[in-house]
């Protein structure tokens, strides 16, 4: 009986967390697709398009059409949780998580330990001067 209760509780929790997720409504998708002309806003490709948050969802970005853009899979995956497409070295986002830090430390060259994790789950030992706190391996 306890297992059944636990499973039901887990299911309810999953449904509740989905309602507060990064899910983009079909209406918003139609608006964004039409606005962006059905092409990637970075490279202009019309293949493997994905809906991307301009201000990352993890940094408080909303699911409104004004914060969603079309990016091809390659550009979107290289952008990850930042503002730049690393494939084309082009800015495709705004108001990144550390944007306030970026404006105050723009000329700083102080290196610090990478905040990334290794495959073993330990903290990376590389140092970085990147504003996002990650070395070249954990971009």
Q: How far apart are CA 88 and CA 92, in angstroms?
A: 10
Domain boundaries, the chain: 25-96, 98-139
Report DSSP letters for the chain, one per residue: -HHHHHHHHHHHHHHHHHHTSS---HHHHHHHHHHHTTS-TTT---SSEEEEESS-GGGT--SSGGGEEEEEHHHHHHHTTSSEETTTTEE---S-TTHHHHHHSTT----EE---B-TTSSBP--EE--TTS--TT--
**Average pLDDT score over the chain:** 78
Q: Say which residue, 71 or 89, is predicted with more confidence.
A: 71
Q: Say which residue, 56 or 14, is predicted with more confidence.
A: 56
Q: How would residue 97 be classed by pLDDT, with cut points 50, 70 and 90? A: low
The predicted-structure confidence for 36-70, as pLDDT tens digits, reads as follows 999 999 999 999 999 998 888 877 788 889 999 99
Q: How far apart are CA 130 and CA 40, in angstroms?
A: 26
Q: Is the pLDDT score of 113 beyond 50?
A: yes
Q: 25-96: which CATH architecture?
A: Orthogonal Bundle (1.10)
Q: Is the pLDDT score of 31 beyond 80?
A: yes
């Amino acid at each position: 009986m306890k297992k059944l209760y636990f499973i039901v509780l887990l299911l309810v929790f999953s449904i509740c967390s989905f309602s507060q997720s990064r899910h983009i409504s079909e209406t918003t998708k139609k608006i964004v697709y039409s606005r962006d002309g059905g092409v990637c806003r970075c490279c202009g490709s019309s293949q493997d398009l994905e809906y991307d948050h301009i201000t990352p969802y993890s940094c408080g970005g909303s699911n409104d059409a004004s914060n969603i853009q079309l990016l091809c899979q390659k550009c979107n995956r290289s952008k990850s949780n930042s503002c730049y497409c690393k494939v084309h070295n082009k800015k495709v986002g705004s108001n990144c998580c550390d944007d306030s830090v970026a404006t105050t430390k723009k000329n700083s060259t102080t290196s610090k330990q990478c905040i990334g994790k290794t495959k073993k789950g330990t903290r990376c030992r590389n140092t970085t001067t990147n504003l996002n706190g990650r070395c070249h391996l954990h971009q």
